[in-house]
Amino acid sequence: MGDLTAHGYLAPADSRVSVVVLHEAYGLSGPRSNIPETCDRLAAAGFRALAPDLYGGRSATSIDDALALMATLRPGRAREAVRTAAGVLRAANAGPVAVLGFCMGGALAFSAALELDGELSAAVVFYGTPRGAVWRLRVPVLAHFALHDAFVSLDDIHRVEARLARAGKPVTFHYYDAGHGFMNEKLPAHSPGGAALAWDRTLEFLRAIPA
């Protein structure tokens, strides 16, 4: 098991690859967050994982509270949190660092892949809309989306996917017969089958990151 601190959750492992894990709108901890468990699962699979607390200890139990918290998050602060977490992981192990995020954290993971060029080696996006200057993308991206998502526009996702394909970027998009939040067993939308498949694909992707 990892350790919950004032700044994040660290799940140590003897690993060549480390992962910064970005929480969804509910926060790092609380009854609707499975981020500590996700970090532990990554560590059990052989990846050191660190989830920074983007809300400074706050968390939400309702969607309205989660959206209100998400509205307080400043993009620059979030980016610096990712940079700091990546630096902590790199200090412990000089190997590559990937970023992985869910919902709000998924969008931030893609943004970090764009903005922190040279500091991250790959990104995994779970149902967070990729935005930004996609032509700047230099690292591989694996993206997972739900076909029945009330919070993410599939039309927007398909447009981004097409733009990335035209630009020849190293990205792979997968779609699941599920709803938003299907990876989180603490939410009603959890889809065991979709979550298992997405997890297997994620581990395969992370294991393929070159040293």
Q: What is the pLDDT of residues 135-184, one digit of tens each?
A: 899 999 999 999 999 999 999 999 999 999 999 999 999 999 999 999 99
Q: What is the pLDDT of residues 121-133, one digit of tens each?
A: 999 999 999 988 9
Domain span including residue 18 = 3-207
pLDDT at position 75 is: 84
Q: Which residue stretches of the chain have pLDDT < 50?
A: 4, 6
Instruction: Give how many domains the chain has, as a whole number.
Output: 1
Q: Within a 13 Å sphere around the CA of 128, how many CA atoms are in the beta-carbon half?
A: 27
For the four alpha carbons of 59, 30, 192 and 122, in that order, the dihedral sign comes to: positive
pLDDT at position 4 is: 47
Can you give the CATH number for the domain in which 88 is found? 3.40.50.1820
pLDDT at position 1 is: 53
pTM: 0.95
Distance from C-alpha of 164 to C-alpha of 123, rounded to nearest angstrom: 14
pLDDT at position 35 is: 97
Q: Within a 13 Å sphere around the CA of 53, how many CA atoms are in the beta-carbon half?
A: 17
In degrees and rounded to multiples of 5, residue 64 shows phi and psi of -65, -45
